[in-house]
Structure 1
Amino acid sequence: MPSSPSHDAPDAVDPTEATIGLRLVALVIDWLIAALVAGLAFGIGYPPEGSRQGFVIQFVFIVYVGLFVGLFGVSPGKRIVRLAVINPEGAPIGWWRGLLRTALMSIVVPALIQTKDGRGLHDLAVGSKVVKVPKTA
């Protein structure tokens, strides 16, 4: 049997351990990276001047986090705090689900409404869950 990546379900910790605090830290890290990329690519300063620049940063955030989470199961922010986004089989959710999940999360409200196990509406919509990844030896 091939070895599974550290974010797969057999190695993942209970999803309730992916606390809101860890999720917020990952979100802030990813937002700052998106703002940096938007600044370098489009000359946007921080804080953004006007809603147009804010939307550019949000677009970069959705594409950057969505593709990382969809293809690899983690964004750089999630990797730092040891969180992963997986489907029911324990694999990454795929690029289009990653983009949709991140777009819904960026609206904020779907992320605030959660089930008992910490799944937001954005996770329910795409069939994903956020799990804590244990430290590797």
Structure 2
Amino acid sequence: MSDRQPRWTQTWLGGTRAAGIDLGYPGERLGLPEHGPGAVAGWGRRLGAVVVDWLLCTWAIAGGLLRARGADVGAVGLGVFAAEYVLLVGTIGMTLGMRLFGIRVAGLDGGRPRFLGVLIRTFLLCLAVPALIWDRDRRGLHDRASGTVVVNL
């Protein structure tokens, strides 16, 4: 047996680029730059921003208000998280965590997302699963349904 894997294994393990298929960079189909401001944000920044927002909403706000009353901090924290997203993304295009990580939510035209899109995006983000299914432009189902993309500042 040789050291080299069969061709079908290489394409399966290496993805489409190993098969000789070039899909371009994330955001190219949307007319966005490859790097710098306006480019599609990477997974690390997006994950970091959502973790900061979740911790802020559940521990600092919901936990601080409800700990003494014995209420369900998780459910209230999700409500505070959703309210933060609707309020901040709907008005300034980013949450506190997004600002910290240098990203924002934009409409496909590059401007602020529409309010209905923000509501749809927030609802689907709170369900978590749509946000875990991505396309090649790094847009989750919540982004696709709301007509948005997360870009670098």
TM normalised by structure 1 equals 0.76
Query: How much does 1:53 deviate?
Result: 2.6
Partner residue, 2:99: 79
Distance between the aligned counterparts of 2:87 and 2:119, measured in 1?
6
Query: How much does 1:59 deviate?
Result: 0.7
Distance between the aligned counterparts of 1:121 and 1:71, measured in 2?
22
Partner residue, 2:38: 13
Q: Is the 8 A contact 1:58 1:106 kept in 2?
A: yes
Distance between the aligned counterparts of 2:37 and 2:126, measured in 1?
25
Query: How much does 1:12 deviate?
Result: 3.4
Letter in 1 for 2:126: S
Partner residue, 1:102: 122
Distance between the aligned counterparts of 1:126 and 1:86, measured in 2?
10
Partner residue, 1:23: 46
Counterpart selection for 2:63 from 27, 39, 45 = 39
Distance between the aligned counterparts of 1:115 and 1:69, measured in 2?
22
Q: Is the 8 A contact 2:103 2:150 kept in 1?
A: yes
Letter in 1 for 2:39: D
Task: Specify the structure having the higher radius of gyration (Cα).
Answer: 2
Gaps of 5+ in 1: 1-8
Distance between the aligned counterparts of 1:94 and 1:39, measured in 2?
31
Q: Within 5 Å, which residues of 2 pair with 1:112-127?
A: 112-127=132-147
- Runs of 4+ aligned structure 1 residues displaced above 3 Å come to 9-12
Query: How much does 1:100 deviate?
Result: 2.2
What is the number of residues matched between the two proteins?
A: 118
Distance between the aligned counterparts of 2:67 and 2:49, measured in 1?
22
TM normalised by structure 2 equals 0.69
Q: Is the 8 A contact 2:63 2:73 kept in 1?
A: no
Distance between the aligned counterparts of 1:38 and 1:94, measured in 2?
28
